Structure 1
Amino acid sequence: MMPTSQQMLAAVQLALQEHVAPKIDDQWAQSALRSVEVILNHLQARVPVEGAMLHEDSRELVVLLTAARDRLSHDDPALATFLAEAPDLIDGYARVDALQALNHKGREAVDALLHACHARKGEAVADAVHADLRAWLLKHADRESGFFFPTYVGRPV
């Protein structure tokens, strides 16, 4: 049976801990190895869930950004690009790297819309769209926190 990506990452990490770390006396090399350990912890948390998270995140962005564009009567190149590419990609089987690129475009469109809302601050529709965008950003950050919190803040995964 072929090992999962998560199992391979764990095997690399174990080999580094058991066979490489004990033989390193140089402090800079030890520091670099600790950094590699943190990255491997991050990847072990991220790899098994990233694709599904990006898919769900991007699907929500299509709905959110379409509504925001329509409510604000706002068009922006980043927004247009995202909305043109997203449906075909998320309706099929997308690779994680393609979902990452799409999600990045969606977040660029969110940024452009936030600027548009800021320029129209005080208008009811702009303030409502701003609240929707902010709510999505908080949800997005919460989804990604599982990749970062245990790795960079808490104990290793």
Structure 2
Amino acid sequence: MRTPVAVTAITLTALFASTATVGAERLITGADIKDGSITHRDIKAGSLKADRLEPAARHRAFVSTQRRSRQVDLTDTAVTTLKVPAGSYAVQASLSVSNGASTNSNMVCELQDSAGVLTSQQQWMATAKGQVIPMTIVGVATYAAPATITLQCFTMVGSTSGNNGVILAEQVTVADKS
């Protein structure tokens, strides 16, 4: 049988230990947390919603997908388009380029907006008819007003098509240089 002093000591130790952690939880603020000390692994999935973040910390991405094949000729052919609100973006487009001819073929694809060409990529294909090659194009853009980004392609030689075109525009925060 335990003595009353031992039982009292155990009870007091448990009481102080539990109140110390509760008190510490209430005393920790954002100012106490060092930059980089908390990572995504420390945050329970679904516990933090975007509407609770400052606007600059919110992540927005926009995507457009064209699931069918688009025959490409000597003129610009829009494979897919994407409308985005004002902001700064890292833009990536991808598609499969198909050679419909039995000779060498090429296709030039560009990311365009109302101001012109953001970036372009040229793909030369080998002689195999029906050969399919992936193409990826990346660029950056900043818009003061809503804009439309278009993945456009044309061919200079041969018979080509663009398949499964995708544009992904991820809104980014531009650092203030002042």
TM interval, short-chain normalised: under 0.3
TM-score of the two chains, using structure 1 as the length reference: 0.25
Structure (1 or 2) with the larger CA radius of gyration: 2
Q: Which structure has more strand as a fraction of its residues?
A: 2
Q: Which structure has more helix as a fraction of its residues?
A: 1
